[in-house]
Amino acid sequence: MGEGSVNVNRLTVTISLLTVVAVGAGCSAINTRDGRAGSGEGQTSGGASGEASGGASGEASGGASGQGGAPDLGGVDVGATGTGGEGSAGAGGSCVTQTSAASLQPVYLAFAFDVSGSMGQGDKEWHDKEAKWDPVVAATKQFFSDPASSGLTASLTFFPDEKDVRCTLEAYAAPDVPLTPLPSDAFKDALDAIEPKSSRDWRGGTPTAWVMEGTIGFIEAARQENPGKYAIVLVTDGYPQDCDEESNSIDAVVADAREALAKDISTYVIGVENPPIEGAPDTLSDLHEIAAAGGTEEAILIDTGNPSQTTAAFKAAVDRIRGAAVSCTMEIPPAPDGRTFDKEKVRVLHTTEGSDTPTALAYDQSCATEGAWRYDDPASPTQIELCPGACDTIQADVQATLSVDFTCESVIVVPR
């Protein structure tokens, strides 16, 4: 796409990795002070009172006996653990907590933004710039510059393009603002630059099908360099118009949204209503078909007439999309210290914003349990997926964190 890879500020989750460190066994323990082996009166490999393989009386290689102490999070008891190498000793060994990092899939939002004359040219009473363009643009700028959008990456494509090329795929093959980590002022600058200075500067036509096809192609190319979760956000105030009817109809756009969804690209639709003026036509009802085909159920329709309320409603709409777009999938990190990954020694924890206490999520490969997680492929897993209930919780609390315990003992049963 010309810009190369982007520096994505990913939502980071903490992965707690519990590994077993052998510290000797019973009568064959080695006294590290003088190298003697034998029964060693008072010696224990688990760190009990007496000499231990870790050195001084009462010390074990995993830390002092009784240090650590983790809350009971359900499942199989694998022993209390601490951080920084501390852990409670058990018979013949102890668990030592290590920390690694993993990320939820990065999220990319490709905005297709309607700049046609009906957004504010003033040629008709309901084409009111103060009622439509101004409040919608104000809310759009807020979204792109909002620190709460951190962790997302977005692009922005205006449509229609100039008259001679507006009904071509090439016109929308590259966005006006390339994929850019949020927050960013680049979008504000682009919106300021595209704003018509007079009624003569507004562009005509609404080539929705062409911008959809161009955006899908752009996403497919971008995903080769930057894998992640992609979605289209279509912002428009009306049905497709101009170009030829067959190539630029609601049916054509619905087909595009369906094709995008088949490629794992969702389509969100924000429709900007005409002001409540007598004679103003309904130009949005069919947009629900596009959203449904794109996997997002229905379009979000924004009332106009009161600019401040329109700004607030539009901001709420994009905030809703921001939450819904948060990925609920993460890669399973490599097992620590070159150990072999055991899919049944995994526990997933969720910590809400403002809390220090994690809550264990249940494992349920069928996702029949509320607030559960599963593997992408139980036979050979590479990703952890949150089931719908747990996913909704994460999407509603974008500051929440996840952690994954790689435990010393089996804590789940994965179907064969």
Chain Cα centroid distance, residue 414? 26
45 to 60, 62, 307: CA distances (angstroms): 7, 10, 72
- For the chain, the domains span 9-22+92-103+328-416, 107-325
206 to 253, 259, 325: CA distances (angstroms): 12, 20, 26
**Level-2 CATH architecture, domain 107-325:** 3-Layer(aba) Sandwich (3.40)
Asked whether the CA dihedral 79, 83, 89, 90 is positive or negative, the reply is positive
Tens digit of each residue's pLDDT, the chain (416 residues):
444 444 443 333 333 333 333 333 333 333 333 333 333 343 333 333 333 333 333 333 333 333 433 333 333 333 333 333 333 334 445 655 454 545 577 889 999 999 999 999 999 999 999 999 999 999 999 999 998 888 789 999 999 998 789 999 999 999 999 999 999 999 999 999 999 999 899 999 999 999 999 999 999 999 999 988 899 999 999 999 989 888 999 999 999 999 999 999 999 999 999 999 999 999 999 999 999 999 999 999 999 989 999 999 998 998 888 888 878 888 887 777 767 789 999 988 888 877 888 888 999 999 999 999 999 999 999 999 999 999 888 877 766 778 888 888 899 999 98
